[in-house]
Amino acid sequence: MADAITSREQDYSQWYLDIIKFAKLADYSPVRGCMIIRPNGYALWENMQQALDKMFKETGHQNAYFPIFIPQSFLAKEADHVDGFAKECAVVTHSRLKVDPELGLIVDPDSKLEENLIVRPTSETIIWDTYSRWIQSWRDLPVLMNQWANVVRWEMRTRLFLRTMEFLWQEGHTAHSTEEEAVAETLTILDVYATFAEDFMAVPVIKGIKTASERFAGAVETYCIEAMMQDGKALQAGTSHFLGQNFAKAFDCKFQNKNNELEYVWATSWGVSTRLIGALIMVHSDDKGLVLPPKLAPTQVALVPIYRKDEERESVLEEAYAIKKELTDAGIRIIVDDRDGFRPGWKFNEYEVQGVPVRLALGPRDVANSTIEVARRDNGQKETVARADLADSILNTLEAIQNGLFERALKTREDMTASVDSYEDFKSVLDSKGGFVRMHWDGTGETENQIKAETKATIRCIPLEGYEEEGVDPVSGKPSKGRVYFARSY
Amino acid sequence: MADAITSREQDYSQWYLDIIKFAKLADYSPVRGCMIIRPNGYALWENMQQALDKMFKETGHQNAYFPIFIPQSFLAKEADHVDGFAKECAVVTHSRLKVDPELGLIVDPDSKLEENLIVRPTSETIIWDTYSRWIQSWRDLPVLMNQWANVVRWEMRTRLFLRTMEFLWQEGHTAHSTEEEAVAETLTILDVYATFAEDFMAVPVIKGIKTASERFAGAVETYCIEAMMQDGKALQAGTSHFLGQNFAKAFDCKFQNKNNELEYVWATSWGVSTRLIGALIMVHSDDKGLVLPPKLAPTQVALVPIYRKDEERESVLEEAYAIKKELTDAGIRIIVDDRDGFRPGWKFNEYEVQGVPVRLALGPRDVANSTIEVARRDNGQKETVARADLADSILNTLEAIQNGLFERALKTREDMTASVDSYEDFKSVLDSKGGFVRMHWDGTGETENQIKAETKATIRCIPLEGYEEEGVDPVSGKPSKGRVYFARSY
């Protein structure tokens, strides 16, 4: 190939884009900052959706759909919210184009809207406006809704999957009668996200709380899961917000409690997005291409038939289709690549680049011996397996790959997590290998900002587990209640 | 209830809106013309999506996702296309809001875009721009893609599900090396749509071709499925377009054929939308509420436990949960309504209004006798079934309801289909009972327009089956090749 994947060592950033290009996950679009999600990328997203959607439903949530447009005046109703989103939104001002004899197609000035519409950057405002009409009594609570949707944030510096102007996500919006219940919901979802990241994506995550400066615009508390990429940068993989009564107050959403008193409703919101695909790529892939965890891989097994002569072709393909049927019946997602005109080596490379977890090669000798060659994408190991044991063997291999990817990612993260007690060490760790740096913090925005300005590292989270430890913030010299996770991040 | 469903006879239009309201399918939104799809409505859409998506994949299609924004200049590239969509589109002109000290939140004039963006009304233009980069050789063809997405058309007169400013749909966009293959694809999808409508929605449809005036903007030929509503109005339920080389030429999309010659690529596009939910409501529902075909019903069976005393409660609920488990294992979507504080009669009414196909009632005597009461939503029949036969009995009942709804809808459509030979009869049928009127047509737009202006009836389609029959157009007196389907429509 004239065109090859850049190695991680050579240029990590270019490597990431090359993986997306060669594995055909996404493409740039003619609209700056918007991406085209190609079938390989979308199939991955569908598998992610399916797993998450099942978990949402098992925890009592229902899907619904709210309008893509938000009246401009709605954004203004929650003060922090408007500050957070007003500077990066797509504004619809007109409803018609017309052909001008001289200028060609232009916006029709007569179609100016009475009120501008914002393409949703997130849907709290329109949903809480609706909830204020739906919720009257404690009997109407809780409301546990989620929507799968596209959203738009006018980002200036974009990057496929990680930061795009339009992205796909799910946003949950729940309404509760008590603060306790809303906080519990926020944490339930944080657990769903962490379980999904670890069990399906094979990406270990730190659960924690964001500092005030990193909080969602309009939230009382933002909980998050944070993952570590191979280049030592952290990535926020999901957030779950306790919104208090902020949106209920902004949209006058009250309910009658069991004592017949009117109270404001308590709220949460939470979301994960196609950004997760970026995390998946950056955690597992290597210089040969994409590496996918079997639970999410659209194709788990690719079988490449090998033959030279026509009479070989028939018996090899017959066996290949029999294997396909058998593995499909065992619940394995398998394809047989029976395309003519492509060499087996070319096909091997194709599946390696696309991250298919297991590749089978089947030739005339295998058919004669009732064997087949099984190759693992994650570690390159090959073995010859007896045909009779194939389904069991592959199920075991897929599980081993799933677990192995998680273990490897966990080890990488542990290698990239350091605890430091001086600002010198902090800077030196960040500059030498990056990763998470656990350091005492005095809890003030001043120190946080100073560190960010001087090192480009931010507080990724105050961890939910293993936080409490009396100490001293080495930057300010003030007392600290525990170590927080710093990192440079995407 | 103070509030009740208006009867069809009293006001069909209001009846339709009442069904949506009482069955909690959708709600109006603060943005004029946009709807909120509530959980009951969205669950229905999810079931529709799932069935259709499976059929698309079985016919070789893959899902992808293209940007929501289309550069204004793209719309202008295909002449018919721009005529069709320029007058009804949401135009994004700015990317930022700001707070003005006097006016409050306003659009920031400094954020005016260099080129306006259109919120997609359909995606042919951005997709063919992309295909022109992806397709070089016959080896790259066919491209068989679909996307599930939201689209926006600035409709002035909207109606929940049937015609909304934003709606959800799927749009397939395929690219082919020959005209024959593209036409075959168009018809494959038309068959998928017809099969889905009849087998899942239990809605009989006429497959046909649109006249030039009803064609999709940019298509060479538009195929459609047309359904008949209970009030005698037709509804277009899905369209599949053969686009010829129109978009390939507009976006300069050529491929090298097997003879090394450059040719323009052949195209199709096709879509169905949340409008189908409107069709479903209007074909099957009655004055008591929604009626759903079991294959699409989110809940197929609702079990209402009945008890007075606490000791009854325990045994009845125990049996109810055992039944739930048994039916769930048999693949039936069942809920047990164990909510306290609601009378059984209130619950019965709830499931009737929401269209749950089968309602079970289980009281202490049933538990003692090992029986249960089974009530059908479609015809109101009740029977007592032996507990041991329950799963089989319900599977049979669900199938009987599915088939019965189709047969009933087919009979209604047949009763509402007339063949006429004079313009007098045509008008009299339309005004007395509506429905489809099969009449000879001379094939000219003049006659079509005259009929439309005089009667508000349009040609719904030139049917694919049973069309050919020599005759005379009674309006123009000119010769006709066959009878076409006229109707007033939604």
Q: What is the CATH number of the domain that holds A65?
A: 3.30.930.10
CA–CA distance, A81 with B383 (Å, rounded to integer) = 57
CA–CA distance, B397 with A215 (Å, rounded to integer) = 53
pLDDT in tens, B117-146: 999 999 999 999 999 999 999 999 999 999
| B225 Cα to chain A: minimum distance (Å) | 26
3-state secondary structure B423-479: HHHHHHHHHHCCCEEEEECCCCHHHHHHHHHHHCCEEEEEECCCCEEEEECCCCCCE
* Nearest CA among B295, B296, B294, B291 for reference residue B281: B291
Express the helix, strand and coil content of chain B in percent, nearest 5 each.
40, 30, 30
B346 in A contact zone (CB under 8 Å): no
Residues A261, A118 share a domain: yes
Q: How many other C-beta atoms can be found within 10 angstroms of the C-beta atom of residue A347? A: 19
Which tokens sit at B283? Answer: 């074909």
- Using the beta-carbon criterion (under 8 Å), do B89 and A97 form an inter-chain contact? yes
**What pLDDT is stored for residue B80 in this prediction?**
83
Listed in sequence order, the residues at least 6 apart from A428 whose beta carbon sits closer than 8 Å to its beta carbon are: none
DSSP bridge pairs for B149: B169
CA–CA distance, B68 with B95 (Å, rounded to integer) = 15
Residues B333, B236 share a domain: no
Start-end of H helices in A59-178: 72-75, 79-85, 124-134
**What pLDDT is stored for residue B2 in this prediction?**
44
CATH of the domain at A437: 3.30.110.30
CA–CA distance, B39 with B396 (Å, rounded to integer) = 28
Listed in sequence order, the residues at least 6 apart from B184 whose beta carbon sits closer than 8 Å to its beta carbon are: none
Residues A308, A264 share a domain: no
Longest dimension (CA), chain A: 84
- Using the beta-carbon criterion (under 8 Å), do A93 and B70 form an inter-chain contact? no
ipTM: 0.96
- Using the beta-carbon criterion (under 8 Å), do A66 and B36 form an inter-chain contact? yes
For B222-260, b where at least 16 C-beta lie within 10 A, e where not — what string? bbbbbbbbbbbbbbbbbbbbbbbbbbbebbebbbeeeee
- Using the beta-carbon criterion (under 8 Å), do B63 and A74 form an inter-chain contact? no
Backbone angles phi, psi at B44, to 5 degrees: -65, -45
| A64 Cα to chain B: minimum distance (Å) | 5
Residues A256, A165 share a domain: yes
CA–CA distance, B483 with A307 (Å, rounded to integer) = 57
CA–CA distance, A350 with B76 (Å, rounded to integer) = 39
Which tokens sit at A218? Answer: 């309009």
Q: How many other C-beta atoms can be found within 10 angstroms of the C-beta atom of residue B261? A: 9
A30 in B contact zone (CB under 8 Å): yes
Residue that has been written with the tokens 């295998």 in this structure: A366
In a domain, A289, yes or no: no
A135 in B contact zone (CB under 8 Å): no
CA–CA distance, B204 with B209 (Å, rounded to integer) = 17
**What pLDDT is stored for residue B154 in this prediction?**
93
In a domain, A343, yes or no: yes
**What pLDDT is stored for residue A358 in this prediction?**
98
- Using the beta-carbon criterion (under 8 Å), do B94 and A98 form an inter-chain contact? no
CATH of the domain at B386: 3.40.50.800
B73 in A contact zone (CB under 8 Å): yes
Residues B294 and B272: beta-carbon distance below 8 Å: no
Residues B64, B98 share a domain: yes
In a domain, A53, yes or no: yes
pLDDT in tens, A66-122: 999 999 999 989 888 888 898 899 999 999 999 999 988 999 999 999 999 999 999
- Using the beta-carbon criterion (under 8 Å), do A64 and B129 form an inter-chain contact? no
- Using the beta-carbon criterion (under 8 Å), do A69 and B31 form an inter-chain contact? yes
pTM, 2 dp: 0.96
pLDDT in tens, B193-218: 999 999 999 999 999 999 999 999 99
Residues A204 and A413: beta-carbon distance below 8 Å: yes
- Using the beta-carbon criterion (under 8 Å), do A89 and B95 form an inter-chain contact? yes
**What pLDDT is stored for residue B120 in this prediction?**
97
**What pLDDT is stored for residue A3 in this prediction?**
78
CA distances from B376 to A276, B380, B389 (A): 45, 5, 17
* Nearest CA among A396, A490, A403, A482 for reference residue A442: A482
- Using the beta-carbon criterion (under 8 Å), do A87 and B104 form an inter-chain contact? no
**What pLDDT is stored for residue A211 in this prediction?**
98
CA–CA distance, A125 with A250 (Å, rounded to integer) = 9
Residues A186, A47 share a domain: yes
Backbone angles phi, psi at A25, to 5 degrees: -90, -40
Residues B33 and B152: beta-carbon distance below 8 Å: no
Please work out, in degrees rounded to the nearest 5, the angle formed at the alpha carbon of residue B162 by the alpha carbons of A95 and B234: 125
Residue B64 is nearest to which of A30, A37, A86, comparing CB atoms? A37
Q: In chain A, how many domains are there?
A: 3
Residues B177, B81 share a domain: yes
Numbers of helices and strands, H then E, in chain A: 14, 26
In a domain, B405, yes or no: no
CA–CA distance, A89 with A67 (Å, rounded to integer) = 16
Q: In chain A, which residue's Cα lies nearest the Cα of B110?
A: A87
Q: Peptide bond preceding B204: is omega within 30 degrees of 0, i.e. cis? A: no
In the 8-state DSSP scheme, what is residue B198?
I
Residues 149-208 of A with CB under 8 A from B: 149-150, 152, 154, 166, 168
What is the Cα B287 distance to its own chain's centre? 22
- Using the beta-carbon criterion (under 8 Å), do B152 and A68 form an inter-chain contact? yes
Per-residue confidence band for B79, with pLDDT thresholds at 50, 70 and 90: confident
Q: In chain A, which residue's Cα lies nearest the Cα of B298?
A: A62
In a domain, B2, yes or no: no
Residue that has been written with the tokens 């976006």 in this structure: B251
**What pLDDT is stored for residue B113 in this prediction?**
97
B50 in A contact zone (CB under 8 Å): no
pLDDT in tens, B26-72: 999 999 999 999 999 999 999 999 999 999 999 999 999 999 999 99
Domain ends where: B233, B256, B284?
Answer: B284
Query: What is the pLDDT tens value at each position of chain A, 490 positions in all?
Result: 447 999 999 999 999 999 999 999 999 999 999 999 999 999 999 999 999 999 999 999 999 999 999 999 999 898 888 888 988 999 999 999 999 999 889 999 999 999 999 999 999 999 999 999 999 999 999 999 999 999 999 988 899 999 999 999 999 999 999 999 999 999 999 999 999 999 999 999 999 999 999 999 999 999 999 999 999 999 999 999 999 999 999 999 999 999 999 999 999 999 999 999 999 999 999 999 999 999 999 999 999 999 998 889 999 999 999 999 999 999 999 999 999 889 999 999 999 999 999 999 999 999 999 999 999 999 999 999 999 999 999 999 999 999 999 999 999 999 999 999 999 999 999 999 999 999 999 999 999 999 999 999 999 999 999 998 999 999 999 999 999 999 999 9
A235 in B contact zone (CB under 8 Å): no
**What pLDDT is stored for residue B1 in this prediction?**
43
In a domain, B411, yes or no: no
Residues B33, B90 share a domain: yes
Task: Report the C-alpha dihedral over residues A276, A277, A279, A280, rounded to 10 degrees.
Answer: 120
CA–CA distance, B81 with B83 (Å, rounded to integer) = 5
In the 8-state DSSP scheme, what is residue B200?
I
Residues B252, B177 share a domain: yes
Residues A344 and A366: beta-carbon distance below 8 Å: no
Three-class secondary structure of residue B366 per DSSP: helix
Residues A387, A260 share a domain: no
Q: How many other C-beta atoms can be found within 10 angstroms of the C-beta atom of residue A120? A: 25
Which tokens sit at A31? Answer: 């609209």
**What pLDDT is stored for residue A164 in this prediction?**
96
Residues B203, B103 share a domain: yes
Residues B423, B480 share a domain: yes
CA–CA distance, A301 with A298 (Å, rounded to integer) = 9
Domain ends where: A284, A316, A350?
Answer: A284
Please work out, in degrees rounded to the nearest 5, the angle formed at the alpha carbon of residue A24 by the alpha carbons of A22 and A27: 105
pLDDT in tens, B243-300: 999 999 999 999 999 999 999 999 999 999 999 999 999 999 999 999 999 999 999 9
- Using the beta-carbon criterion (under 8 Å), do A29 and B67 form an inter-chain contact? yes
In a domain, B76, yes or no: yes
A130 in B contact zone (CB under 8 Å): yes
A227 in B contact zone (CB under 8 Å): no
Three-class secondary structure of residue B91 per DSSP: strand
- In one letter, which amino acid is B147? Q
CA distances from B136 to A21, A47, B60, B71, B173 (A): 17, 30, 21, 24, 17
Residue A95 is nearest to which of B42, B74, B90, comparing CB atoms? B90
pLDDT surpassing 70 at residue B103: yes
| A39 Cα to chain B: minimum distance (Å) | 5
CA–CA distance, A185 with A182 (Å, rounded to integer) = 5
CA–CA distance, A469 with A473 (Å, rounded to integer) = 12
pLDDT surpassing 50 at residue B347: yes
In the 8-state DSSP scheme, what is residue A23?
T
In a domain, B408, yes or no: no
**What pLDDT is stored for residue A2 in this prediction?**
44
**What pLDDT is stored for residue B3 in this prediction?**
78
Expressed as residue numbers, the domain containing A437 is 417-487
Tell how strand A301-305 and strand A334-336 pair up: parallel
CA–CA distance, B289 with B359 (Å, rounded to integer) = 14
Three-class secondary structure of residue A463 per DSSP: strand
Domain ends where: A284, A310, A332?
Answer: A284
Backbone angles phi, psi at B75, to 5 degrees: -60, -35
